[in-house]
């Protein structure tokens, strides 16, 4: 199944994606919440009701609504750095022996076709295509063997990064460099695991103004999805709707000679096999 969240007059609402168009889940079945995060938290029974609703609910034309990020209100946005072997090699960094973890705040989330805003105080804003894992069940101390059972779905994500803040400031400002407003586009859809299969065998690429800048496969992940979920759950209780940005492949702007930074007027597309295409335009603050 595929789900989106769209903006209605009453606020964000969850919808299922069908060949006919979008189906508002709460309108099709009043027992379903308008919130996709709540539906995930209610577990398999709610997802079965959602599946049934897709077959009979009234259809909304996708062109008539504005999409929001599939999860508009995550408790946590957790990000992994240096998690592709080929990306670590291009930066000259040693292969990490355990995940490099940082986070973003919810102010960074933007939807498909929303704008990425270049901040006035940064002049080295970089792009990073990422597979995003969306958690569907609460868990702590999750075993690696059962970790994928906690996944509600996957989405395309963009870890936009102000490198002059992340690396150029005294002490390094990873958090601030990663969490400017609009620096975490997500979407357009949450795609359930049954449509994806093995998340460790997906082609991923980023196009900047139509030119392929990043191209790899998630088999290059140093720490795969199941390991990341198990590792992170040692520290924090993972909750439905939590987002894990799993790292970026090679080809980032800072590793190029000369470096390539995002500019106002650019269009960035992230495409992940079986997941979809996330598109955003870049504007100046």
CA-wise closest residue to 182 among 106, 70, 249, 268: 106
This prediction has a pTM of 0.96
Distance CA 224, CA 203 (A): 14
CB-count exposure of residue 234 (10 Å: 0-12, 13-18, 19+)? exposed
Distance CA 157, CA 128 (A): 8
Distance CA 203, CA 197 (A): 13
CATH of 77-284, one of 3.10.450.50, 3.30.230.10, 3.20.20.60, 3.90.850.10: 3.90.850.10
pLDDT of the residue at 147: 98
pLDDT of the residue at 100: 93
Distance CA 182, CA 225 (A): 25
Q: How far is CA 126 from CA 78, 190, 208, 231, 252, in A?
A: 19, 25, 11, 27, 7
Distance CA 58, CA 37 (A): 22
pLDDT of the residue at 58: 87
pLDDT of the residue at 90: 78
Q: Where in the chain is the domain with CATH 3.90.850.10?
A: 77-284
Distance CA 154, CA 187 (A): 9
Report mean pLDDT in 10-residue bins for the chain, 285 residues: 96 96 96 96 94 90 96 97 84 85 97 98 97 98 98 98 86 86 98 97 98 96 98 98 97 95 98 98 97
Query: For residue 108, what are the contacts with CB-CB under 8 A and spacing of at least 6?
Result: 77, 160, 178, 179, 180, 181, 182, 183, 184
pLDDT of the residue at 196: 97
Q: What share of the chain is helix, strand, coil (3-state, %, to 5)?
A: 25, 35, 40
Distance CA 215, CA 236 (A): 32
């Amino acid at each position: 199944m595929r789900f989106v969240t769209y903006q209605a007059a009453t606020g964000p609402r969850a919808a299922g994606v069908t060949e006919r168009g979008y189906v508002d889940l709460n309108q099709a079945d009043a027992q379903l919440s308008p919130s996709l995060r709540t539906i995930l938290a209610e577990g398999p029974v709610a997802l079965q009701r959602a599946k049934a609703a897709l077959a009979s609910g009234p259809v909304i034309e996708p062109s008539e609504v504005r999409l929001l990020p599939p999860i508009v209100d995550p408790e946590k946005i957790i990000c992994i750095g240096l998690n592709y072997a080929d990306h670590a090699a291009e930066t000259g960094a040693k292969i990490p022996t355990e995940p490099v973890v940082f986070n973003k705040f919810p102010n960074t989330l933007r939807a498909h076709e929303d704008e990425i805003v270049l901040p006035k105080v940064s002049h080295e804003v970089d792009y990073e295509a990422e597979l995003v894992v969306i958690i569907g069940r609460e868990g702590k101390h999750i075993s690696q063997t059962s970790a994928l059972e906690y996944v509600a779905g996957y989405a395309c994500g963009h870890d936009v990064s102000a490198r002059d803040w992340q690396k150029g400031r005294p002490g390094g400002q990873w958090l601030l460099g990663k969490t400017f407003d609009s620096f975490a586009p997500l979407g357009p859809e949450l795609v359930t695991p049954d449509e994806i299969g093995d998340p460790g065998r997906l082609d991923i690429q980023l196009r900047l103004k139509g030119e392929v800048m990043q191209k790899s496969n998630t088999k290059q992940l140093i720490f795969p999805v199941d390991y990341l979920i198990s590792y992170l759950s040692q520290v924090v209780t993972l909750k439905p709707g939590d987002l894990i940005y799993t790292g970026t492949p090679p080809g980032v702007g800072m590793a190029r000679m000369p470096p390539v930074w995002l500019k106002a007027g650019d269009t960035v597309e992230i495409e992940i096999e079986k997941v979809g295409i996330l598109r955003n335009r870049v504007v100046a603050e």
